[in-house]
Structure 1
């Protein structure tokens, strides 16, 4: 098994608690509002929403993926951290990727906003290599989604306080 890890940091003008509430705690509803052409549904299929729970995200037809299932590994509301693993679905490209883990930490920035730090780890089957272009394409999609959530929060200053 090969392991490829990618780290990124994205600054935001939104304070950590508010961003965490929107981006993590209410993501199931907010992602559908922010990107209705991408997300068809996000549903809890096992558990209570805490560690060990499994969620299924279904995408609209014609997109790169049909669905993914992810397992919540840890969630810490006080420290604004969240981790989950993609355990099933199109993103795991049969025979190439066994699992993808994602760790998110939202920290306060000196300017009063926050910094979203994420670590994405791809566990490949055998010696399969993931091309940098694939990782960069995923990063770009995630960045657009994050900026969409940030724009929603800026346009709705009373939401998620």
Structure 2
């Protein structure tokens, strides 16, 4: 008997290590990986869209399709506002899947700034935000329960170990 699929929703500002951890979890669990950045850039490139919320809405549909056939899904996005957080949860509920909110943070602003300013994108044509754009980004406080991984002063392997610990020792909705 196959276990109930899970929607793991990664959230956090650019440059905190969210995509790296999301990809590691996708590989480790053999789950479907969905990157909002990749989807939104594809919509810009292929459809010449001025993307607002289309990337999220398209991702919800792809996630639901995968969850309904029993595949767990890793959703990688900033997920900065309550609306998108609620919509991801609705995707899981409508597919009768478990879900887990995972917020990745970097509590050390100096380290976070260095990461933002030194990284490069592996998504063709994707323009990474500047440090000022990250600082100015709308990002609502969380109301829901979630796993929080602080990547400041921690290796990516240690952060992933911590993430796995929380996943394996927590009730998933």
Q: TM-score, normalised by structure 2?
A: 0.25
Which has the higher relative contact order, 1 or 2, with Cα contacts under 8 A spaced 6 or more apart?
Answer: 2
Q: TM-score, normalised by structure 1?
A: 0.27
Q: Greater strand percent: which structure?
A: 1
